[in-house]
Structures are given as structure tokens and as C-alpha cells.
Structure 1
Amino acid sequence: MDVEEKKDIFDKLMHLPVLNIFEPFYKKHKEVLMYLFFGGLTFFLNIALYAWLDKGLGMNALIANVICWVVCVLFQYFTNRTWVFDGQVDSAAGFLKQMASFFGGRLFTLIVEEAILAVFITWLGFNSMAVKLVAQVVVIVLNYVISKLIVFKK
């Protein structure tokens, strides 16, 4: 008896007439493509929220960054767990362990990002948005490695 492969919304989109030519590439690289897609959404959410808090409200860069972190990590956990790494677990204990390791990894990258912001914005006076953009690239790469190798390892 063949078990039908579980299809999510993105798998179904790849069956549409115009998009189905990309389906082989999509299937081969789905995890990375989903990470880039949701990472991109998180990146824009993070930058927009940071810009609003930093420039719009005049909030301290480090405090604004922590607020962005909380919002974006919650978004990332559920999107990464559901669509990127298929991190389904079979118990409440497994869920809590997975969530704790995800948030622990993200806390590590928050510390890295806060250090980058403190050095380049607070101490050296570089442009806040430019530093934030560079810091985000560093964080995105670190987050992928942590998620792939630790949090959602198969």
C-alpha cells in the first residue's frame, strides 16, 4: 500500500500550469527555497519594524532590535517548523525540547547581532540601518546552520 506524500500549499502551487516547469528544481531544493522565502519575509518584517522603532519612534537601536527579535523569532519558529524543516514531533515533551533549542539558537544569534550593533552603531557611530542590514545577513546564515544541524535535524 503506497502512502501518499503529504503536500503543503507550496507543493500544490508547484502543480499550477505556469509553475509546474519549476517543480523538479523545487522538489530538489525545497528546504533551502522555503528557508529563503520565509527568511526573506522575516528579513523584511525585521527591517521594517526596526526602521519604524529606530527612525519613526526614535527608540534605542539595541532595544528596538530586541523587540524585533521577539516578533520575528515567533514568526520564524512556526514557519520553519511547519514549512521549512518539517519539524513535526510526536509528544509535548518533544515539542518543548524543539522549541527550547530553537529559541536557544536564536538567543545566541541575538547576542551576536546585539554585539554587532553595539560595536558599529553605539561605539563607532556607523549608520544604524546599514549596520542592521549587514548584521541580518550574518544572523540569517547562523540561524540556518543552527536550525539545520541542531534544532530540526533528522
Structure 2
Amino acid sequence: MILNDLFKKYKSFIAYAFFGACTTLVNLITYKIFYFVLKTPNIPSTIIAWLLAVLFAFITNKLWVFNSKSWVASVVFPELTKFFICRIATGILDVLIMWLAVDKMKWNAMLWKLVSNIIVIILNYIASKILIFKNKDTTENKNEKQILN
């Protein structure tokens, strides 16, 4: 009973953590394929990995994290626009971290890709809660607001 109550209270955070991990895998695997297998330079590999991860993240966040099930243009377009704007900002941060750590400092590419992804995931969650899906006033969100207050 207690576990079920905790799960209900933190469902969006648990879902975000799970899909954040999946998004990180999409990003890391894509980066590894392009950078190490296809020998694509670091920055294009980072951008391609970011783009595929953002598309994956939008769909999973929309449907399963923030329960925005509508595909009506008047709902999807503002969500998608805000989502991509925030992701572009964190994508630029990802590119800057990778450029500095890998290209300039010659540090381990995969380690820094993971570190960069952790930073980006935290910032993206904050942006999603505050800016993108903020108008979703579900019972779950009300529970989370009560906990935070």
C-alpha cells in the first residue's frame, strides 16, 4: 500500500527517470555508431545523436511522463515548439561540453558524453515541468505540488 501511494505521487518523476535513461541510451548509441563506427566527426555525431534523442524524448514525455495525449495541432504545436526551443538550448550546452572536453581537452569521449547527458537531463526535466507541460493540472501534478509546498 505504501509503495503504491509513493508510486502514484512520484509517477511522472519515475517515468521521466526511466525515459530519460532510455533517451540517454538513444543518444549514446547513436553517438557511438556515428563517431566510432561511421567515423563521423565529433560535433556532427553529437548533433545527430541529440536530434534523434530529442524526437524520442518528445514522444515519450508527451505520452507517458506528462500524459498529454492530444495530437490536435493547437495542443501539439505549442508543446513541440517549447520542447524544441528548450532542447536546442540544452543541445547547444551538450555540444559545448563535448567540444571542450573531447576536442580541446582530449578527455574520454564516452565518459563526457554520459556526464553531458546527465546535466542535460536534469535541465530538461526542470524546463518540462516549468515551461512545456505546465498546464497539465492532473491529479498527479496536484499531488506533486502538495508535496513541494
TM-score, normalised on structure 2? 0.84
Give the 5 Å matches for 1:5-154.
22-88=3-69, 91-154=72-135
Distance 1:62 1:90 in 2: 33
**Structure (1 or 2) with the larger CA radius of gyration:** 1
Distance 2:57 2:42 in 1: 21
Superposed CA offset, 1:72-130 (max 9, x none): 11111011011101234585223211110001100000000101011111111111111
Identify the range of structure 1 (140-149 vs 55-64) with the bigger mean alpha-carbon deviation. Answer: 55-64
Distance 1:31 1:21 in 2: 17
Runs (5+) with no aligned partner, structure 2 = 136-149
Cα offset, 1:61, TM superposition: 1.2
CA RMSD of aligned residues (A): 1.6
Other structure's SS at 1:98 match: helix
Alignment: residue pair count: 135
Amino-acid identity (%): 32
Distance 1:53 1:91 in 2: 35
Cα offset, 1:21, TM superposition: 7.4
Distance 2:27 2:73 in 1: 30
Distance 2:16 2:91 in 1: 18
Q: Taking CA–CA contacts closer than 8 Å with sequence separation of 6 or more, which of the two structures ends up with the larger relative contact order? A: 2
TM-score, normalised on structure 1? 0.81
Q: 1:85 corresponds to which letter in structure 2? A: F
Distance 1:132 1:74 in 2: 18
